[in-house]
């Protein structure tokens, strides 16, 4: 694969299965998931309880903290306190921050779309260990879903549903929040609760972001202002029904 200035910490491969080192991953687009419909819920204090002190505040000034790479298929680069993921048509690109291992946490990060349309998507990767992780996906058609990658095999564990908080196309901006305690994870967009999943596969791991072109046009998304909070032990709370 031609490359221009690829940093030694990043690896580019044409597959949906990440390498054992879980760095930069490339692969063709996958099939469109079955669609469901839910309402967007307004967050309440009970939906993200137990949030404590800040454990990480990342202003994206340290270029060595994240996986970066440059090739003719895309780039992951940090500049002006932002991590920019730019990919060519049909390409997926992920960047991880490996020096943190998160189990119970609440994290917020801001995403901005510059080029994004239709089923192109982006989002966050959590509890990443080797070739296993969760991927919370925002599509540029306003849908959101969750994928579990286990030993390189992808499974959609929360089918795509529409959200009024997911930006339509570009330009767009959204704050992505994730509350994770034990086997439960709750997604927030712009501070509003979206849905909850329960899955016991991965208790902890690294944090990352990604962008993916599903069509014949490029995708560019920037990420900034990552804040991670500790979450102490909390009693279970009832998740609102869709």
Q: What is the pLDDT of residues 184-224, one digit of tens each?
A: 999 999 999 999 999 999 999 999 999 999 999 999 999 99
Contact of 159 with 35, CB cutoff 8 Å? yes
Sign of the alpha-carbon dihedral angle for 62, 228, 185, 34? negative
Give me the mean pLDDT over the 71-98 stretch.
96
Q: Percent of the chain at pLDDT above 70?
A: 77
Backbone angles phi, psi at 5, to 5 degrees: 75, 30
State the Cα–Cα distance between residues 171 and 122, nearest whole angstrom. Answer: 14
| Domains annotated on the chain, with CATH | 45-59+98-231 (2.60.120.560)
Collapsed DSSP state (helix, strand, coil) of residue 65: helix
Global pTM reads: 0.79
The answer to whether residue 113 scores a pLDDT higher than 60 is: yes
Q: Strand 92-102 to strand 105-115: parallel, antiparallel, or no bridges (unpaired)?
A: unpaired
The answer to whether residue 103 scores a pLDDT higher than 70 is: yes
140: left (phi over 0), alpha (psi -120 to 50) or beta: alpha
The answer to whether residue 25 scores a pLDDT higher than 80 is: no
Q: What is the pLDDT of residues 128-160, one digit of tens each?
A: 999 999 999 999 999 999 999 999 899 999 999
Q: What is the pLDDT of residues 169-187, one digit of tens each?
A: 999 999 999 999 999 999 9
Of 225, 106, 124, 222, the C-alpha closest to 173 is 222
> How far is the CA of 233 from the CAs of 31, 52, 105, in angstroms?
39, 10, 11
The answer to whether residue 55 scores a pLDDT higher than 70 is: yes
């Amino acid at each position: 694969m031609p490359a221009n200035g690829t940093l030694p910490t990043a690896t580019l491969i044409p597959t949906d299965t990440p390498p054992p080192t879980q760095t930069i991953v490339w692969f063709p687009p996958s099939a469109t998931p079955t669609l469901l419909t839910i309402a967007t819920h307004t967050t309440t204090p009970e939906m993200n309880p137990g949030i404590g002190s800040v454990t990480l505040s990342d202003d994206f000034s340290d270029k060595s903290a994240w996986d970066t790479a440059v090739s003719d298929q895309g780039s992951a680069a940090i500049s002006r306190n932002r991590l920019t993921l730019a990919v060519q048509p049909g390409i997926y690109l992920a960047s991880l921050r490996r020096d943190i291992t998160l189990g119970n946490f609440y994290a917020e990060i801001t995403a901005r779309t510059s080029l994004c349309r239709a089923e192109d998507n982006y989002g966050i990767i959590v509890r990443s260990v080797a070739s296993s992780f969760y991927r919370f996906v925002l599509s540029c058609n306003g849908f959101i879903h969750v994928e579990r990658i286990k030993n390189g095999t992808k499974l959609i564990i929360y089918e795509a549903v529409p959200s009024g908080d997911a930006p339509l196309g570009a330009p767009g901006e959204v704050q992505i929040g994730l509350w994770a305690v034990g086997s439960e994870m709750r997604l927030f967009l712009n501070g509003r609760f979206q849905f909850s999943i329960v899955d016991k596969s991965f208790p902890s791991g690294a944090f990352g972001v990604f962008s993916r072109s599903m069509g014949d046009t490029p995708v560019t998304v920037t990420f900034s202002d990552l804040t991670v909070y500790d979450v102490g032990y909390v009693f279970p709370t009832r998740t609102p029904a869709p």
